[in-house]
Chains A and B, each alone.
Chain A
Amino acid sequence: MDAAAPLDLLCVGLNHETSPLEVRDALVMNEAEVERAIQALRERGAAEALVLSTCNRTEVYARGAAIEDPLAFVAALFREIKGMDLTGKEGRFLYTYREPESVRHFLRVACGLDSQVLGEPQITGQVKEALSVAARSGGSGPVIDRLLDAALRAAKRARSETAIGQGPVSSAYAAVGLAAKVMGSLAEKRLLVIGAGETAALAAVHFRDAGVTRIMVANRGRERAEAFAKAHGARVVSLEALPVVLPGADIVVSATASPGTIVREEMVRSAMKIRKNRSLLFLDLAVPRDVDPQVARLPNVFLHDLDALGGIVAQSLAHRRAEVPKVEAIVEEELARFLRWHRSLAVVPTVTAFRTRVETIAKEELERHKPRFKSEDHASLEALVHGIVQKLLHRPTTRLTRADEKDPEGIARIDAVRDLFGIDEEDSDADRNPR
């Protein structure tokens, strides 16, 4: 049986494991630069091309490009587009994959297995965006499209069938998770942020994303507090008025540079009396700590510092790492499915299967209706059906036979015939378009 043309999918790139931040930062490409890169690959004979460029990786995928030394070619491409020289010693930042490793790598990336934060979900959107840019730049084609389908399906399965994306992976996320575990829905809760620095801002962002709308900010410097309030939709309160505003807060995030404690036990005890003992959660993200540890002794008061939140994150990452084998198994399944699809794209077996399918249907219908005709008419009937079938098959067979298995148009034609005539029963419509 003839085999399909080789997949010939190349991947060259660098990521957070092979290169330092300054190199990755310098290589991040905007849409115009990605288009230039795809154009250059097409000029070198690539039938399809895609560039995935994020803060953690820049990778070039190309199919059918006649490139003898891919590393050198891509390094030259980066030099031309970004002014970044990755030849010589810097070449060690780059890696190369050929099929099936290139396909496997793409699937692993989409599932978050290759991410700096294991299982992070943002990569799925970045992969989709990369394909959109490739489509606009003339780089996409049936193979890259199908590869994206496989990648999105693998990512969706990884998220729904495993816990690779579960649990917080930053202290700020852990803080939100803890607040939700104590208080349930955060939509009606009031957040008091003490401090207006980066850590406080990050916490405010995460709590707003979780549904908190009522935010107060207290800071020693009024100007910074006002800037923070403007940026995060918060209300400024005076740090001196802390004992007065504390009873009105359900969650307190403290992240100041104060050398001593700001929130003392007696302040919290008084606040709890006014609150009628409703839950009060302190998240102390400061070093040294802002909140008196004795506060934790009070009933219905919860205090968690950076160590505690760090413990939650470490536990969460350990759980995610334990899920990696399950996700790798999903990647292997989707890889096999993709390669099986690609192997089915050979012209001769497709023509044979297509003709066999139509001729089988004609034969079955003929046998079913023959009894309605007189036996002396059977020969004429058979000739009639045979003639109709051959006439119908002639043009599609000729067009299919001329299809080039390496050309995107040829692949699309073969794939369309297999789909339209149900030659590949195992691929459902859902498989073909999981987006």
Chain B
Amino acid sequence: MGFRSRRPANPAMQALLPLLTTLLPVLYGLSAAGYARVYLAEPGVLEGTRGQSGGPFLLRAAVVVHVLYLAARGYMEGHLPLASVYDFLSATGFSLAVVYLYVEMRQRIRTTGIFVIPLVFFLQVISSAYGGSTAALKPPLKPIWFELHTLAAVLGYSAFVVSAIYGVLFLKLYRDIKANRLSFFYARMPSLETLGRMNVSAAGAGLVFLALAILMGMGWARVTGVRFLGDPKTWLTIAAWMVLGFAVLAYHRLGWRGPRAVYASLAGFTTLVLSRFAVDLFFHSFHTFR
């Protein structure tokens, strides 16, 4: 598998890229505003009206534009745009939006977009404002399927972030109902059962993507001869995957519901986050590409 090189400059692409770079945060911002409007409106007032569909429509448009952006950058640079930290932020924002859309479409709930899409907007603003330079891909990242491994990992992590957000919303609503605090937040949230399903749906999607990332990473390591068996990040990631896998299994097979199920998924998410920091701070891993 050879390394791919950058293509010669294409004037049309060069003109298109700045437009897409600017359009992305605008679309995500407008979408976030649309979701905020749905959340702040009195329950039922916007139901079935165009006012309720503005945010989701703009989010879909933003995701389509984001795909075009990634494709254009990929075409020009000869690799997926994951070389710099700003590229990573943009890819993370994209992944969060895709995972959120998947959960929204499955559960048909729109009042929770306000808790995810502003984060996407924030990530894309930083990426669009400070990114832009088309960095060369570092040698270890160049084979295409390692790029796909990275993209799958980003999607997996993003799905777990969305799952954790729904887990927190569940716990907040659960405590409010228990304590009879039936106010603004209570009126706008879907049912506890639905929030629980959204939490586990997103975690399930994360498991699939992270599993793909782990498998692709192991395959690449075998081919290139990199020793991954002694790598702490690999093992910590696999451990986090197993904790999350157990949480999803417990929901579907053992009938776990309520705070217990959510705590299990949050434990997996916490393990994942801590593994990232633990590796960077305390261990040496080939996974850090500085």
Contacts and interface: CB of A to CB of B under 8 A. Distances in A.
Interface of A: 160-163, 165-167, 178, 180-184, 276-279, 296, 299-300, 302, 304, 308, 311-312, 315, 319, 323
A165 B42 CA distance: 11
Interface of B: 42-45, 49, 173, 177-178, 180, 182-183, 186-187, 189-194, 254-260
B259 A300 contact: yes
B262 to A, nearest CB: 11
B186 A181 contact: yes
Main secondary structure of the interface of B (DSSP, over half): loop
B177 A302 contact: yes
B180 A163 contact: no
Nearest to A311: B180
Nearest to A300: B258
Contact of A161 (B45, B189, B190, B255): B45
A310 to B, nearest CB: 11
A224 to B, nearest CB: 31
A160 B47 CA distance: 8
B180 A308 contact: yes
B246 to A, nearest CB: 16
Of B177, B182, B183, most buried by chain A (CB within 10 Å of CB) is: B182
Contacts, number: 72
Of A161, A162, A184, most buried by chain B (CB within 10 Å of CB) is: A184
A284 to B, nearest CB: 13
Nearest to B180: A308
Given A302-B177, A315-B182, A180 B191 contact: yes
A277 B258 contact: yes
A276 B250 CA distance: 11
Contacts of B178: 296, 302
A424 to B, nearest CB: 27
Contact of A279 (B42, B186, B257): B257
Nearest to B191: A184
Given A184-B190, A184-B194, A166 B254 contact: no
B126 to A, nearest CB: 37
A182 B193 contact: yes
B186 A277 contact: no
Contacts of B189: 181
Contacts of A278: 255, 257-258
Nearest to A278: B257
A11 to B, nearest CB: 31
B39 to A, nearest CB: 14
18 contacts: A161-B45, A166-B42, A166-B43, A181-B173, A181-B186, A181-B189, A183-B193, A184-B190, A184-B193, A276-B257, A277-B255, A277-B257, A279-B258, A296-B178, A299-B260, A300-B258, A300-B259, A312-B182
Contacts of A319: 42
Nearest to B41: A163
B255 to A, nearest CB: 4
Contacts of B187: 167
A279 B44 CA distance: 26
Given A276-B256, A299-B258, A311-B182, 11 more contacts: A163-B44, A178-B177, A178-B182, A181-B186, A181-B192, A183-B193, A184-B190, A184-B193, A184-B194, A300-B257, A300-B259
